[in-house]
């Protein structure tokens, strides 16, 4: 294990040392419905802060009748402990495929592995908001803004990472302030001592090293809500962008990925087991995963392997009998709102490289 990998698996693939961004090798991803913490991907925009829990306080302020300042122990002792099984996925997952269509400068070229699943423990955000006297009946149009302790630098300015979610989402039982992940206190790289966990939403809203929660009338003015993590039309680029026109990303879209094979892999003829993950955002379920071995001409439904609830990815598997030759494996999924995926990556290209949910294709050679 190298010193710089924050206690992660020795095979963890470091995409960027500083800030630390890393992910598991694709073949180790999705082997079990819970990702071992040492393999859970890390996405950070600034240095990982090493927080001394003795001096740590969480501030709750803004449109509240009683501002709060809570230590970690006060949070643990004063609010009900709950567990949520949830998958986190970065909006930039699968950007590498978009980059192959047209370059996307200054953004991380994630493969298919900016996604992982954990069992999280913490307290319900809505219980903390209730303690601060948030009047949910009167103020459902509001937003809950999260501020992190880490600093990022953009547009020649240093500022803390942040982002917000609508109050309507914040009041749902699945949204928690998490202090444990897979039975252990959060690792520093995952937000020790406390992070927001917003299942069903893009990972950016699950703010790590949480320092402040502000209830406010507007979405967050933080760079990572106001500029980044917005979806723009394909014709928009850095020169023509009007940042206010992008769609502020919140719920994930349905996607599916092959993890068992990599591009141009050579495999033995006979039974070839194709495996991977699929996820539907916003609490929707993955209803069907189709796999093709002929580039999308014909399809067979894969077996869905786990049912870990609405906030979890679905792992899937299909055994194919393949003779020697060249094959293009393809996967696509349908969710419970009958959302499906675009056939071509070019159809979902956008200049920030978010939300790529095109059919995932892997060419293999069977010998
Ligand atoms: N929170 C803070 N404070 N700083 C960050 O850089 N990155 C966000 C989110 N929360 C980030 C953050 C993004 S983009 C993602 S995808 C998830 O954290 C990743 O969480 P993980 O590193 O625990 O996998």
Pocket probe for ligand 1: among 45, 163, 225, 252, the residue whose CB has the most ligand atoms within 8 Å is 45
Pocket test for ligand 1, best of 13, 15, 18, 43 (most atoms within 8 A of CB): 43
> How much distance in Å is there from the Cα of 118 to the middle of ligand 1?
14
Q: Determine what percent of the chain is predicted with pLDDT higher than 90.
A: 93
Over residues 338-350, mean pLDDT = 98
pLDDT surpassing 70 at residue 61: yes
pLDDT at position 3 over 60: no
Q: What is the pLDDT of residues 42-60, one digit of tens each?
A: 999 999 999 999 999 999 9
Expressed in angstroms and rounded, the spacing between residue 218 Cα and the centre of ligand 1 is: 22
The pairing of beta strand 68-70 with beta strand 82-89: unpaired
Quote the pLDDT of residue 198. Answer: 98
pLDDT at residue 2, rounded to an integer: 44
Question: Of 186, 208, 225, 279, which is best to mutate to test ligand 1, by the most ligand atoms within 8 angstroms of its C-beta?
Answer: 208
Supply the residue whose CA is at minimum distance from atom 14 of ligand 1: 204
Residue 194 to residue 192: CA distance in whole angstroms: 5
Name the burial class of residue 244, with classes exposed (0-12), middle (13-18) and buried (19+) by CB atoms within 10 angstroms of its CB: exposed
Beta strands in 65-199 (DSSP E): 68-70, 82-89, 115-124, 143-154, 157-166, 176-181, 184-185, 195-197
At 138 the pLDDT is 66
Minimal-distance CA residue to ligand 1 atom 10: 207
- Whose Cα sits closest to atom 11 in ligand 1? 44
pLDDT exceeds 70 at position 66: yes
**pLDDT tens sequence across 172-221:** 999 999 999 999 999 999 999 999 999 999 999 999 999 999 999 999 99
| Residue list, ligand 1 pocket, CB within 6 Å | 40-45, 88, 90, 148, 150, 161, 190, 203-204, 206-209
Residue 253 C-beta-side C-alpha neighbours within 13 Å: 18
Neighbouring C-alpha atoms within 13 Å toward the C-beta of 206? 27
Instruction: Please tell me the predicted confidence (pLDDT) of residue 8.
Output: 93
Protein residue with its CA nearest to atom 22 in ligand 1: 42
Instruction: Quote the pLDDT of residue 4.
Output: 59
| Opening angle at CA 366, ends 360 and 367, nearest 5 | 160
CA angle centred on 274, ends 269 and 280, rounded to 5°:
165
User: Residue 345 C-alpha to ligand 1 middle, in angstroms?
Assistant: 25
**Alpha-carbon distance 152 to 158, whole Å?**
6
How many angstroms separate the CA atoms of 112 and 98, rounded?
Answer: 12
Q: What is the share, in percent, of the chain residues with pLDDT greater than 70?
A: 99
At 1, is the pLDDT very low, low, confident or very high (cuts 50, 70, 90)? Answer: very low
Angstrom CA distances, 126 to 129, 176, 210, 240, stand at 5, 8, 16, 40
Radius of gyration of the chain (CA): 21
What's the 43 CA to ligand 1 centre distance in angstroms? Answer: 5
DSSP lists the bridge partners of residue 300 as 291
Distance 50 CA to ligand 1 centre (A): 15
CA dist., res. 250 & res. 202, Å (int)? 6
**What value does the mean pLDDT of the chain take?**
95
Residue located nearest, by CA, to atom 17 of ligand 1: 203
pLDDT at 99: 98
Question: What's the mean pLDDT in 335-357?
Answer: 97
* Closest listed residue to residue 96, CA positions, set 47, 167, 185, 26: 26
Q: Is the pTM of this model over 0.85?
A: yes
Buried b / exposed e over 208-238, threshold 16 CB at 10 Å, is: bbbbbbbbbeebbebbbbbebbbbbeeebee
- Residue-wise pLDDT tens digits, 74-125: 999 999 999 999 999 999 999 999 999 999 999 999 999 999 999 999 999 9
For 226-246, how does the pLDDT look when each residue is reduced to its tens digit (9 = 90+)?
999 999 999 999 999 999 999
268 CA from centroid of ligand 1 (Å): 39
Please give the distance, rounded to the nearest whole angstrom, from the Cα atom of residue 325 to the centre of ligand 1.
42
pLDDT of residue 63: 94
Q: Is the pLDDT of residue 259 over 70?
A: yes
What is the C-alpha separation between 188 and 23, in angstroms, rounded? 16
Nearest CA to ligand 1 atom 6: 44
CA 209 to ligand 1 center in whole angstroms: 9
**Cβ distance 334 to 230 under 8 Å?**
no
Q: Are 279 and 87 in contact (CB under 8 A)?
A: yes
pLDDT given at position 309:
86
Taking 3-state DSSP, the helix, strand and coil percentages for the chain, each rounded to the nearest 5, stand at 15, 35, 50
Residue 135: what pLDDT? Answer: 77
Distance 89 CA to ligand 1 centre (A): 10
Tens of pLDDT along 309-328?
889 999 999 999 999 999 99
Nearest CA to ligand 1 atom 21: 42
In DSSP notation, 30-90 reads TSSSSPPGGGS-B--SSPPP---GGG--EEEEES-SS-EEE-HHHHHHHS--EEEEEEEE-
């Amino acid at each position: 294990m190298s010193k710089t990998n924050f206690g992660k698996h020795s095979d963890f693939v470091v995409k960027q040392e500083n800030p630390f961004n890393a992910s598991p090798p694709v073949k180790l991803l999705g082997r079990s419905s819970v990702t071992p913490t040492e393999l859970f991907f890390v996405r950070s925009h600034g240095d990982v802060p090493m927080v001394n829990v003795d001096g740590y306080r969480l501030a709750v302020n803004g449109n509240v009748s009683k501002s709060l300042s809570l230590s970690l122990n006060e949070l643990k002792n004063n609010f009900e402990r709950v567990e949520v099984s949830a998958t986190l996925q970065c909006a930039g997952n699968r950007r590498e495929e978009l980059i192959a269509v047209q370059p996307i400068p200054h953004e991380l070229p994630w493969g298919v592995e900016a996604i992982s699943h954990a069992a999280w423990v913490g307290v319900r955000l809505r219980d903390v908001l209730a303690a601060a006297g948030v009047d949910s009946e009167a103020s459902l149009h509001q937003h809950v803004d999260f501020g992190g302790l880490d600093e990022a630098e953009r547009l020649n300015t240093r500022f803390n990472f942040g982002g917000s979610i609508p109050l309507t989402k914040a009041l749902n039982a699945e949204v928690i302030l998490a202090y444990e992940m897979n039975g252990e206190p959060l690792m520093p790289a995952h937000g020790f001592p406390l992070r927001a966990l917003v299942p069903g939403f893009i990972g950016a809203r699950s703010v790590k090293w949480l320092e402040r929660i502000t209830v406010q009338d507007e979405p967050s003015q933080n760079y990572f809500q106001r500029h980044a993590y917005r979806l723009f039309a394909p014709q928009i680029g850095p020169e023509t962008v009007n940042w206010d026109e992008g769609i502020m990303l919140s719920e994930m879209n349905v996607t599916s990925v092959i993890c068992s094979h990599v591009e141009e892999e050579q495999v033995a003829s006979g039974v070839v087991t194709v495996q991977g993950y699929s996820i539907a955002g916003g609490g929707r379920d993955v209803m069907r995963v189709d796999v093709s071995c002929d580039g999308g001409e014909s399809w067979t439904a894969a077996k869905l392997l786990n049912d870990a609830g609405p906030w979890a990815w679905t792992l899937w598997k299909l055994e194919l009998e393949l003779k020697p030759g060249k094959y293009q494996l393809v996967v696509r999924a349908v969710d419970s709102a009958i959302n499906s995926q675009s056939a071509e990556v070019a159809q979902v290209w956008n200049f920030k490289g978010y939300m790529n949910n095109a059919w995932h294709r892997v060419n293999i050679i069977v010998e």
